[in-house]
Amino acid sequence: MATLFVVSTQPLSGKTALCASLGSRFQSQGLRVGYVKPVASQLGSGNGRSPDEDVKFMIDTLDLSQTWDVISPVVLTDHQLESIMAGKAESLADRMKAALSVAGKGRDVVLLEGAGNPWVGSIAGLSGKSVAEMGGARMLLIGRYDGPATADHILGMAQELGSSLLGVVVNMVPDNALGFVNKTMAPFLVSRGVAVLGVLPEERSLMGLSVGDLARYVGGEFLRGEDRSEDLVEGFLMGALSTDYMQDYYSRRQNLAVITSGEKTDIQLFSMTSNTRCIILTGYRRPVELVMAQAAEHGIPLILVKEDTLTIAEKVEGLFASIRFHQRQKLPIMARVLEAGFDFSALNQALGLAAKVT
């Protein structure tokens, strides 16, 4: 059995996307795949068994049958951290070892997904490196591109992880930086003894969320188009200015949610001729019948909310800043990204799976 532990330099770097995509690929090749999120953090909560959205998504994606105690064995809360520091907590290491043992039974590959960074859990003796040693795992570090300093972050973390590290992936690289990362950063990391298994370009559709998720987040009511709830939204536009301004913005962005007052009929109608995925109508003002008819013709969901345009825009901006990979319709997109920039052969060989994978 092979165990791969996916960790990241910082939160929201693409761990879940990589785990889901690799797991799905392994399954398509006839391999039996397990998954564990060894340490989750829920600070500020006293409930140590609250569902983790990443875990729920992975259970659904990989059709996992193990119990939550196996798939998510340790969830750290403020109360639990206080107990550990006071010497009153149970041995979480024993719980972890038991979970990893159960998760590996009958599996060819077990994927472990790290927390926000590899040292979450250190207080309980469950840092990423410690868990990797416990489970005999090789570690794959994924770093979200953030300029040339990304190499510094990756190199520093690689030195901390030591021999457990299998390699790194540089993720979310803008088009204008791909040449630099491939020709300069990746060779530099390799020269320092860090294997680079992938350089993955930024794909805006992977940073989107579904129309249904957006509607639920803003507390909206579908006036029409609820059947398009699974469509992906990649960004938003506050339709409070002129249509000339909107035209310029539309020329640069696609698959947008337009946020505008229910009274602004001109903006609503204009939005339906462009790259719009849904329209959020603010102020609890229903649109005129012409807008309803045009929305039905163009297949544009209309979502009614109580708050004003600025308040909703601020909420949606915060939501986009914390988007996670929880939509199954993103899997084919991520698969294409990996095919173009990830070295599957090197991964299979490092994990001892080369003989099982065609």
Position 41 confidence tier, pLDDT thresholds 50, 70, 90:
confident
Q: Provide the pLDDT for residue 55.
A: 87
Question: Which pLDDT does position 252 carry in this prediction?
Answer: 61
Q: Which positions ≥6 away from 70 have C-beta within 8 Å?
A: 36, 99, 102, 103
- Give the pLDDT band of residue 109 (cuts 50, 70, 90): very high
CA nearest to 17, candidates 351, 323, 343: 323
CA distance 163 to 251: 48
Angle between helices 128-135 and 149-161 (to 10 degrees): 50
Stretch 156-167: mean pLDDT, rounded?
93
- Mean pLDDT of the 285-293 span: 94
Cα–Cα distance, 147 to 349 (Å, whole number): 30
Q: In this structure, are residues 31 and 62 in contact, taking their beta carbons and an 8 Å threshold?
A: no
Domains of the chain: 2-205+325-351 (3.40.50.300), 209-320 (3.40.1390.20)
pLDDT at res. 46: 40
Mean pLDDT of 144-161: 94
Q: What is the pLDDT of residues 226-256, one digit of tens each?
A: 999 988 888 888 875 556 656 665 666 678 8
Residue-wise pLDDT tens digits, 192-224: 999 999 999 988 777 778 899 899 999 999 999
Segment 66-92 shows an average pLDDT of: 88
Burial of 106 (0-12, 13-18, 19+ CB in 10 A): exposed
> Whole-angstrom Cα distance, residue 52 to residue 149?
31
Average pLDDT over the chain reads: 88
**What pLDDT, on the 0 to 100 scale, is given for residue 236?**
86
Confidence at residue 241, expressed as pLDDT on a 0 to 100 scale: 57
Give start and end residues of each alpha helix (H) in the chain.
15-28, 53-62, 68-71, 78-85, 92-104, 128-135, 149-161, 178-180, 186-191, 211-217, 243-250, 265-271, 289-298, 309-320, 331-341, 344-351
φ, ψ for residue 273, nearest 5 deg: -95, 0
Q: Strand pairing of 165-173 and 138-144?
A: parallel
Q: Pairing relation of β-strands 209-210 and 232-233?
A: antiparallel
3-state secondary structure of 250: helix
d(CA 104, CA 3): 8
Q: Which residues lie closer than 8 Å to 293 by C-beta, 6 or more apart?
A: none
One-letter amino acid at 211 equals: V
3-class state of residue 120 by DSSP: coil
Alpha carbon distances (Å) from 254 to 53, 209, 271, 335: 27, 13, 12, 21
Does 309 score more than 60 pLDDT? Answer: yes
Cα torsion through 240, 245, 246, 247, rounded to 10: 160
Q: Record the tokens describing residue 55, joined without a space.
A: 């875990």
With pLDDT > 90 as the criterion, what percentage of the chain qualifies?
60
Torsions phi, psi for 75 (to 5 deg): -120, 110
Q: Scanning the structure block, which residue is given the tokens 């008819």?
A: 293
